[in-house]
Structure 1
Amino acid sequence: MAIKGVLFDFSGTLFRIESTESWLRAVLAEADVTLPEGELLRLAGQLEAAGALAGGASPTGPLPDDLGALWAVRDRSAEAHRAAFTGLSRRVELPDARLHDALYDRHMTPAAWRPYPDTVEVLAALRERGVAVAVVSNIGWDLRPVFREHGVDGYVDAYVLSYEHGIQKPDTRLFGLACDALGVAPQDTLMVGDDRRADGGAADLGCAVHFVDHRTVVERPEGLRPVLDLID
């Protein structure tokens, strides 16, 4: 099989969100709120356990029924995404209630994200080989500014975002839309992602699938390079 198109997941695959501690520090600084170091670290730990940072850790423990139902469909609309993650955040008592929305807004900024060390290298190599690239993401906001700010947008031919279609992975329709956008048959397409359930749905459409580890940028300097071996 000759691979003519590659679909990439966003979070945990091409980019990684900042740590929960960095996220909270940035928002507190912007709001001019000062906390004792121990209190800041305690709150960061609680927010991480709550799963309040999109792209970070999932919630630990059971969720209330209403929040659990919202969590299951969080990537189908911008409204559901914001409501789910601010709902998780509000399970943690912060010094100012306005900080919950500020935290959500922060995670959508390019400054909150870093590309993996080999992201540009691999995308540039695919472009040189004439392989079409799409980003297929379960997400509730427009990630295109993140790619533009980090100089990666020029390597992406199409973006297929769940909230723009009301469909979330592993639904094969989302992968089908991406293949159609690239003009490539699923059988000639490789899906690269970090979530075996969500990204693995591409296999049901006939795509090849390759998984990477959802690790920090420092811990995963070369996780994407095997993609080039699969292409070659």
Structure 2
Amino acid sequence: MTTIKGVLFDFSGTLLRIESPESWLRAALTATGTEMAEAEIALRAAELDRAGALPGGTSPAQLPAELAARWEIRDRDARHHRAVYTGLARQVPLPRPELYDVLYDRHMTAEAWHPYPDAAEVLAELHRRGLRIGVLSNIGWDLRPVLRAHGLDRHLDSCVLSYEHGVQKPDPRLFALACRELGLPPSAVLMVGDDRRADGGATALGCAFLPVDHLPVDLRPDGLRPVLDVVG
């Protein structure tokens, strides 16, 4: 068995979790000076959640036909990503048209993301043990400032983002690129992620795979610690 010498982490639902739909909506309302009754905030937030409008949140309960094709390739291009998610949000009536873009912009801020409680500790320990560490994410925007703001970048050796390469997980080409960025063969790399299909696709290339549960941060205090046992 090949010794694991490097670990690739997914971003959303693995190292960090996006804020709740209600917190997301409240931030956009505050940013635009928009007032809304408490009952309506709760209602619209729930509708946005069902629409799948919050990137990193739940998937759409029903995907509008006009967005179906772009949904499948949303993480390959920044323009597709914005168009898809603002399009999903527009399924929900909001009092100001600018709110849809403000909501999208909000989800790219550090304040919208919360690291899992053990994320910093696990990254630091892997670094101490001499492993190579990278982030590999299906995403339509640059998450590096978010990692930096939360102090999670200091132990990273690489960051591979799907939209920068026009290819997304589970395409083996993206995993191959991420392994090259670590300077390691796939057989020496462990992929850690919450999506069994997308992240688990690493096994087709020969990487090991460790799944984690996409849970709120307060319900997953030590979901990343098994990584330390796997790498030994």
The bucket for the TM-score relative to the shorter chain is over 0.9
Q: Could you tell me which amino acid in structure 2 is paired with residue 6 of structure 1?
A: V
Q: Does 1:51 align with 2:52?
A: yes
For 1:156, the equivalent position in structure 2 comes to 156
Please give the alpha-carbon distance, in whole angstroms, between the structure 1 residues aligned to 2:113 and 2:55.
11
Please give the alpha-carbon distance, in whole angstroms, between the structure 2 residues aligned to 1:79 and 1:29.
26
Please give the alpha-carbon distance, in whole angstroms, between the structure 1 residues aligned to 2:147 and 2:59.
24
State the 1:155 CA deviation: 1.1
Q: Does 1:165 align with 2:133?
A: no
For 1:6, the equivalent position in structure 2 comes to 7
State the 1:66 CA deviation: 2.2
Alpha-carbon deviations, 1:92-135, whole Å to 9, x = none? 11000100000000000000001100000000000000000110
Identical-pair percentage: 61
Secondary structure of 1:155's aligned partner: coil
- Structure 2's unaligned 5+ residue stretches are none
Alpha-carbon deviations, 1:17-56, whole Å to 9, x = none? 0000000001101111111100110000000000000000
* Runs of 4+ with deviation above 4 angstroms: none
For 1:221, the equivalent position in structure 2 comes to 221
For 2:32, the equivalent position in structure 1 comes to 31
TM-score by length of 2: 0.99
Please give the alpha-carbon distance, in whole angstroms, between the structure 2 residues aligned to 1:30 and 1:86.
17
For 1:139, the equivalent position in structure 2 comes to 139
For 2:203, the equivalent position in structure 1 comes to 203
Q: Does 1:112 align with 2:104?
A: no
State the 1:64 CA deviation: 2.7
Alignment of 1:54-203 (within 5 A): 54-61=55-62, 63-203=63-203
Please give the alpha-carbon distance, in whole angstroms, between the structure 1 residues aligned to 2:183 and 2:87.
39
TM-score by length of 1: 0.99
State the 1:209 CA deviation: 0.2
For 1:16, the equivalent position in structure 2 comes to 17
Alpha-carbon deviations, 1:187-214, whole Å to 9, x = none? 0000000000000110000000000000
Secondary structure of 2:192's aligned partner: strand
Alpha-carbon deviations, 1:151-179, whole Å to 9, x = none? 11111110000000000000011010010
Please give the alpha-carbon distance, in whole angstroms, between the structure 2 residues aligned to 1:66 and 1:46.
19
- Structure 1's unaligned 5+ residue stretches are none
